[in-house]
A and B are shown apart, each in its own frame.
Chain A
Amino acid sequence: MTGPIDDAVFAELQETAGADFVGELVDTFLEEAPRMLEELRVAAAGGRGDAFRRAAHSLKSNANTFGALGLGSLARELELGGMPEGGADAAIAAVAAEYARVAARLQELRSG
């Protein structure tokens, strides 16, 4: 797999919304995404399928906006598949790991 962000999608976003604005939008995402991951964990632990699906849905939507297509597709699997039988820990860990890559790359893009 190549980089965590599809550069063409990100560039188009910058072009249509303005680079400065996208910088702020990245900041917002980096604040919000950890909350979504936490919500995934809490919902999985509490067996709340609907909250789990909603958190995955939000994460998917935002990931795709920035061109984080890998993260988007992992989140999508959770959204559509629901909570995996035998626990969601492994799946959530995979999403969190991909998110870490995405966050690092977004920070690079933001300052570069």
Chain B
Amino acid sequence: MADALHGPARLLVADDNKVNRLLLARSLELQGHSVACAPDGKVALEMLRRGGFDLLLLDMEMPEMDGFQVLEQLTADRALRDLPVIVTSSLEGLNHIVRCIELGAEDYLHKPVNAVLLKARIGASLEKKRLRDQQKELVRRFATPEVAQDLQQSGFALQGRRVEATVLFCDIRDFTALVESQPPEETIELLNTFYTLMFDAISGQGGVVNQMIGDGLMAIFGAPLPLDDHAASAVAAALDMVEMIELFGVERRDAGRSPIRIGVGIASGELIAGYTGTQQRATYTCIGDTVNLAARLEAHTKVAQRAILVDPATRAALGADAAAESLGPVAFRGKSAAVEVFALR
């Protein structure tokens, strides 16, 4: 019987011996699972890489590629690293079992495999996998895919590292007045649309939104994963964002509402990126002068009456023929020297 709560699992049986393969597949089908078979390790890996399997039952003694090699390959494969593997083997000797477990196998069952034991071990493995999948899903929902990937690759540590990146701040102009002029439901709907459009523009250029702040957001280009041309990508995202908001404004005007406008500030340079917080609750963030400058530039869009303002480093990365206009040096709070500000478009 398959677990009624979770439905049948999709299992792969890798065994070169036909009798073993048939018998194992039969036992698993009787338990309500859907089963596919592979006659050696190489075929098994190919099938697993095509995806869709919840668990692998692996024989050790196989031609082409044996079970130990399969385990090694799975560990090295980011997409398959977490796939539960139950070894079914009639290899004798504790050393084989130890090696399988060291290579990441969840369990080791001796052949001939006892059906009751098999059922229990598979149930436990699938349950563990479901919990892991749930955790991953939570991480995905509350962190960006890039942060999730960084976490998976490097693990979690409360420390920062220096990176060269570009930071983008954006917010909705005159948001407070807007909030006061319409029912809260409409504001939430507006914010949802705003975030959807902005996320789309930012991730479309390889950026990562790492904070949502009321009516604004902060995005990073070049961290946690490195990005070539992070400054140009951030600027391209900003232009997309402004264009999307203009289109959205037309839509709102047609619906009898006032259009919205945004301001964007962009700065490039060194920053410290990493996890801050406590061991229990932490967030991926970036700090440093570059971040502060981007925030100041965004605030300055109100004063300058321009949609997009960038710092000299971002301007320099764009090349000579970019449509950027110098607005001259501006003295920002917290900055000892005045910074030349460029408006785009």
Q: Which residues A5-49 have CB closer than 8 A to chain B?
A: 16-18, 21, 24-25, 28-29, 32
Chain B's nearest CB lies how many Å from the CB of A48? 12
CA distance A58 to B98 in the complex (A): 22
Q: Would you call B30 and A65 a contact (CB within 8 A)? A: no
Q: Would you call B27 and A17 a contact (CB within 8 A)? A: yes
| Given A17-B30, A57-B61, A60-B90: A32 and B18 interface contact (C-beta under 8 Å) | yes
| Of the residues A17, A21, A24, A62, contact of B20 by C-beta under 8 Å | A62
| Given A17-B27, A17-B30: A61 and B22 interface contact (C-beta under 8 Å) | no
Chain A hits for B63, CB < 8 A: 54
In this complex, what residue of A is CB-closest to B88? A61
CA distance A65 to B18 in the complex (A): 12
Q: Which residues B5-36 have CB closer than 8 A to chain A?
A: 16-20, 22-23, 26-27, 30
CA distance A17 to B30 in the complex (A): 8
Q: Would you call A61 and B26 a contact (CB within 8 A)? A: no
| Given A17-B30, A54-B61, A61-B111: A80 and B92 interface contact (C-beta under 8 Å) | yes
Cβ of A73 under 8 Å from chain B: no
Q: Would you call B22 and A28 a contact (CB within 8 A)? A: yes
Interface residues of A, dominant DSSP: helix
CA distance A57 to B26 in the complex (A): 22
Cβ of B288 under 8 Å from chain A: no
Chain A's nearest CB lies how many Å from the CB of B88? 10
Q: Which residues B273-287 have CB closer than 8 A to chain A?
A: none
CA distance A18 to B90 in the complex (A): 23
Interface size counted on chain A using CB atoms at 8 A: 18
| Given A17-B30, A21-B26, A54-B61: A32 and B19 interface contact (C-beta under 8 Å) | yes
Chain A's nearest CB lies how many Å from the CB of B108? 15
| Given A32-B18, A64-B112: A57 and B23 interface contact (C-beta under 8 Å) | no
Q: In the complex, how many residue pairs between chain A and chain B have their CB atoms under 8 Å apart?
A: 49
Interface membership of chain B positions 57-89, coded 1 if the CB is closer than 8 angstroms to chain A and 0 otherwise: 000010100000000000000000000000000
| Given A17-B30, A54-B61: A61 and B20 interface contact (C-beta under 8 Å) | yes
Q: Would you call B19 and A28 a contact (CB within 8 A)? A: yes
Chain A's nearest CB lies how many Å from the CB of B110? 10
In this complex, what residue of A is CB-closest to B60? A57
Cβ of B115 under 8 Å from chain A: yes
In this complex, what residue of A is CB-closest to B93? A80
Chain B's nearest CB lies how many Å from the CB of A15? 9
Q: Would you call B27 and A65 a contact (CB within 8 A)? A: no
Chain B hits for A18, CB < 8 A: 26, 30
CA distance A106 to B90 in the complex (A): 22
| Given A65-B19, A65-B20: A16 and B92 interface contact (C-beta under 8 Å) | no
Q: Would you call B115 and A29 a contact (CB within 8 A)? A: no
Cβ of B304 under 8 Å from chain A: no
In this complex, what residue of A is CB-closest to B20? A61
Q: Would you call B18 and A61 a contact (CB within 8 A)? A: no
19 contacts between A and B (CB under 8 A): A16-B30, A16-B115, A17-B27, A21-B26, A24-B22, A25-B22, A25-B23, A25-B26, A29-B19, A32-B18, A32-B19, A57-B61, A57-B91, A58-B17, A60-B90, A61-B17, A61-B20, A65-B19, A65-B20
Other A-B pairs beyond A28-B18, A28-B22, A61-B111, 4, CB < 8 Å = A54-B61, A54-B63, A60-B90, A65-B112
B interface vs A, CB < 8 Å? Answer: 16-20, 22-23, 26-27, 30, 61, 63, 90-92, 111-112, 115
